[in-house]
Amino acid sequence: MADNLFTISGLKLSLPDMTRKPVFGAAPQIEILKGIDFQVPRNAVTGIVGESGSGKSTLGRAMVRLLEPTEGTIVFDGLDLTHLGENELRPHRRNLQMIFQDPMSSLNPRRTIASIIAAPLRQYGLTDNIDGRVKEALDRVGLPQSFAKRYRHEISGGQRQRVGIARALALSPSFVLADEIVSGLDVSTQAQILTLLERLCRELGLTIAFISHDLSVVRRLCEQVIVMHNGTIIEKGSTKAVFDNPQQPYTRSLIDAIPLPEPDPLWLAPDAS
């Protein structure tokens, strides 16, 4: 067990369905996660793949306890997080960090980059040599020191995502959730962020849950993978096993649908399937 940072069992989570909310009264609950079991090994990247509506983002938010599960347990580093309240969670938050999909919206427009990176440090009382720590965090993600005084609208999309990574790593957390962190970026920027993440994983031995719809990226980056569909896990295992020899038709259909950057007139030909 010691090599698993997260052990998630029987996880169910329901949210109110606002699209079906009656004029008076509460919205009906809709079950987003329908019983999820899996482990996240330490010092490795675990991919969570699936299409929209598969529940992958909800699962991620439950892991860092932005959402509270309805059933099941989430054990993180030997501690049951499932129903901890905000105050009980606070000491553990520094070990449960997150990088967001939209780097624009995840940075407060009225704060400087330095202040954004320093916020979690201040919150946990790491105020000695705070400038040095911010400097180190910027260095780590390859941003020049001059960025400390800038605002989010003064830097590019890729640079914003670097700031998001720097903030998540500032507290040296034992776990980082990365939610579709390259899907909004241009190809060239995406490659920069991916190589940065690969380097950081190598150097710092990070434990990451990497949520993505892009199998090409997941296959590069992740050691383990779970494939989600409609609130359940369809297939899980080592990336190599799952992608080299997918057992489930759904996984195969996901792989078949990837448009490889190679011309192939047959790919779009109507077929029997």
Partner 1 sequence: MADIRRRYKKPNLRLWLAGGWIALALAAALLAPWIAPHDPLTQDLLYGRLPPFWIEGAEPGFWLGTDSLGRDLLSRLIHGARIAFMVAFAAAIAACLVGSTLGLVAGYFGGWADRIISRIVDIWMSFPPVLFAILLIAVLGTGLHSVIIAIAVIDWTRFCRVIRAEAMVQARMDYVESAHIAGFGRVKTMIDEVLPNVLPSIIALLSLEMGIAIIVEAILSFVNLSVATDDPTWGGIIAEGRLSIHQAWWVLVFPLVALFLTVLSFSQLGEGLKQRFDPVLR
Partner 2 sequence: MTDCLAITNLSATLPDGQRLLRSVNVNVAPGEVRALVGESGAGKSMLSKAVLGVLPVSVKIVEGDIWLQGNDLGRLTAAKRRQAVAASIALIPQDPLTALNPSRRIGPQMTDRLVKILGWDQTRADERVRTLLDEVHIRDGERVLRAYPHELSGGMRQRVLIAAAFAAEPKLIIADEPTTALDVTVQKQILRLIAEMQRLHGTAILFVTHDLGVVAKISQNVTILYGGMVVEEGAVDQLFANPQHPYTRALLAATPRYTDPEASLLPVDQSVLSDLAKAVETADRDWMSSHGG
* Residues forming the site for partner 2 (CB under 8 A): 51-52, 157, 186-188, 190-192, 194-195, 213-217, 219-220, 253-264, 267-268, 270
**Terminal-to-terminal C-alpha distance of the chain:** 43
In whole angstroms, how close is the CB of 35 to partner 1 at the nearest point?
25
Query: Per-residue DSSP letters for 142-207?
Result: T--GGGGG--GGGS-HHHHHHHHHHHHHTT--SEEEEESTTTTS-HHHHHHHHHHHHHHHHHH---
Integer Cα distance of 113 and 109 in angstroms: 9
What is the rounded radius of gyration, in angstroms, for the C-alpha atoms of the chain? 20
Integer Cα distance of 47 and 201 in angstroms: 14
Q: Which secondary structure element, helix H or strand E, spans residue 135, and what is its range?
A: helix 130-140
Q: Which is nearer to partner 1, 27 or 258 (CB)?
A: 27
Kindly state whether residue 120 participates in binding partner 1, applying the rule CB under 8 A.
Answer: yes
Instruction: Scan residues 68-87 and list those touching partner 1 (CB under 8 A).
Output: 86-87
Contact of residue 223 among partner 2, partner 1, none (CB under 5-8 Å per partner type): none
Q: Which is nearer to partner 2, 26 or 187 (CB)?
A: 187
Q: Hey, is 3 helix, strand or coil?
A: coil
Kindly state whether residue 124 participates in binding partner 1, applying the rule CB under 8 A.
Answer: yes
Instruction: Scan residues 129-168 and list those touching partner 1 (CB under 8 A).
Output: 151, 153, 164, 167-168
Contact of residue 216 among partner 2, partner 1, none (CB under 5-8 Å per partner type): partner 2
Kindly state whether residue 20 participates in binding partner 1, applying the rule CB under 8 A.
Answer: no
Q: Which is nearer to partner 2, 23 or 187 (CB)?
A: 187
Burial class (CB in 10 A: 0-12, 13-18, 19+), 93: middle
Q: Which is nearer to partner 1, 9 or 14 (CB)?
A: 14
Out of 97, 159, 161, 189, which residue is the one contacting partner 1 (CB under 8 A)? 97
User: Helix, strand, coil % (nearest 5) of the chain?
Assistant: 35, 25, 40
In whole angstroms, how close is the CB of 103 to partner 1 at the nearest point?
9
Beta bridge partners of 235: 227
What is the token pair recorded at 236?
Answer: 């899980």
Q: Which residues bind partner 1 (CB under 8 A)?
A: 64, 66, 86-87, 90, 93-94, 96-98, 100-102, 105-110, 119-120, 123-124, 151, 153, 164, 167-168
